[in-house]
Chains A and B, each alone.
Chain A
Amino acid sequence: QVQLQESGPGLVRPSETLSLTCTVSGGPISSSYWSWIRQPPGKGLEWIGYMSYSGSSDYNPSLKSRATISVDTSKSQFSLKLSSVTAADTAVYYCATGISSAYFEFWGRGTLVTVSS
């Protein structure tokens, strides 16, 4: 069973870069699709983007090129960077994976990131 665990700062200052890491265990990182999804407090889900095992990636246009996802197969980790954050980026951030880039079979527990000065 694949398990995922998000890690990173719980507080980020406005205009700075949010950086999160997802550590994968129980399955190969080199043959799946790796995604980030977020959920503002009390609200619904928003897909951020994905990266594939082949290196292809795509992102939600609403993020206006602020998001970057990378994979480090040697560490079984993938990461999210979101630049120029504002209070609107406050959310629980989930990493997720599966055999498809399109739906999400395995999820991390999520980590709350608050953007505040």
Chain B
Amino acid sequence: EVVMTQSPATMSVSPGERATLSCRASQTVNSNLAWYQQKPGQAPRLLIYGASTRATGIPARFSGSGSGTEFTLTISSLQSEDFAVYYCQQYNNWPPWTFGQGTRVEIK
């Protein structure tokens, strides 16, 4: 099973600032990586797939990069609605598909 490790666990960011979230895989997952955003009491929302392709309707301030074992989600200028928990998920080696433990982005 591929273990996904996200860092940091929590980050405090001011509105308008850039946030950079990291995700590391225990073995290569090529570019088969997705990012999700989850707000309290809501289902996750797909942001990025293929490591860097934004899902339908996702604002351009969200961008993904990386391949192999190291990945990054960047939010260029945090808006109030972006404070949430973010999960990465690999879909290269299955079963099972595996998720990271999440990074919480909170207001500074």
Contacts and interface: CB of A to CB of B under 8 A. Distances in A.
Interface stretch (A17-25, A39-47, A78-86): A39-47
Interface stretch (B14-22, B65-73, B75-83, B93-101): B93-101
B44 A104 contact: yes
B91 A102 contact: yes
A47 B99 contact: yes
B94 A102 contact: yes
Interface residues of B, number: 24
Interface residues of A, number: 22
Contacts of A98: 46
Contacts of B102: 44
A5 to B, nearest CB: 11
Contact of B96 (A44, A47, A105, A109): A47
Given A47-B96, A58-B94, A108-B43, 8 more contacts: A44-B102, A47-B95, A94-B43, A94-B44, A103-B97, A104-B34, A105-B46, A107-B44
